[in-house]
Amino acid sequence: GLPAVVTMLLSVGTRALAAKGAIVKRLRSVETLGSTSAICSDKTGTLTLNQMTARELVIAGRRYNVDGEGYSTTGRILRVAGSSDAPFEPFTLPMALANDAVIRDGAIIGDPTEGALVVLAAKSGLDVEETRRAFPRVAEVPFDAEYKLMATFHEMDEGGRRVVRCFVKGAPDVLLARSTHYLNVEGATEPMAGDGQERVLAENDRMAAEGLRVLAVARRDFDPATFDPAGDLLALVSELELLALIGIVDPPRKEARDAIALCKDAGIRV
């Protein structure tokens, strides 16, 4: 009679689980579930909302906090009392142009991390769609996990002269290795040599230790007469001017905390 008893008990467990919204196809899975001691869960979109939100902007050592949630462009870039206002356009322009994401009515079309940068650019005062129309791409280096960056090239005016400006976004360590200068908060270019690299790495480590995903943006100008859009564009992404670091967070789901607490109460490690 043991097989019949076991089958009945497993069936009862299956029905109890179904009442909780969990459908079990194999009865043996109920026994396995009952002896579970650890759950390994995906994070993005499961424990979190998969709505990347920029929380911090670092420009040449000056830190700015960013308020607002998700992909709503409602929010501000907050500075510390006593510090001067800075024109954000030179630092946030790459976030709008070296980017394929589109924000529509608080929803994103494209990569969530890119969406966070578009929202930050909008919070800095840029009309992202009009900016993209004003400065169309003449060439691009698509993102690739091998070199961990994306670069776009645009024709612009700089001090009355025409230039092809390269805007780059990517992993901080990668862009730092390709940068020779940085732009300070007053808009002046300074050499990266000396303690410049140490300060950038320190800010990167600090934000990463706080659980933020960190990205960097940079730029470089070229002479339109010698620029070849069909050439080796990745080789041109060097001798950059580092602009800013951005700390991005993926907010947790409200129900995730309770679910993890229930698991811990049941003696299950998450």
d(CA 24, CA 18): 7
d(CA 75, CA 88): 15
Ramachandran bin of 160, using left for φ above 0, alpha for ψ from -120 to 50, beta for the remaining angles: left
Nearest to 228 by CA among 159, 167, 153, 132: 153
250 is catalytic: no
Q: Looking at beta carbons, which pairs linking 135-144 to residues 24 or more positions away fall under 8 Å?
A: 135/97, 137/97, 138/164, 138/229, 139/229, 139/233, 140/233, 141/233, 141/234, 141/237, 143/170
Query: 42, 85, 105, 265: which is the annotated catalytic residue?
Result: 42
Both tokens assigned to 149: 């960056």
d(CA 54, CA 39): 29
Strand pairing class (179-183; 137-144): unpaired
Strand partners, 182: 190, 242
Give the active site residues.
Answer: 42
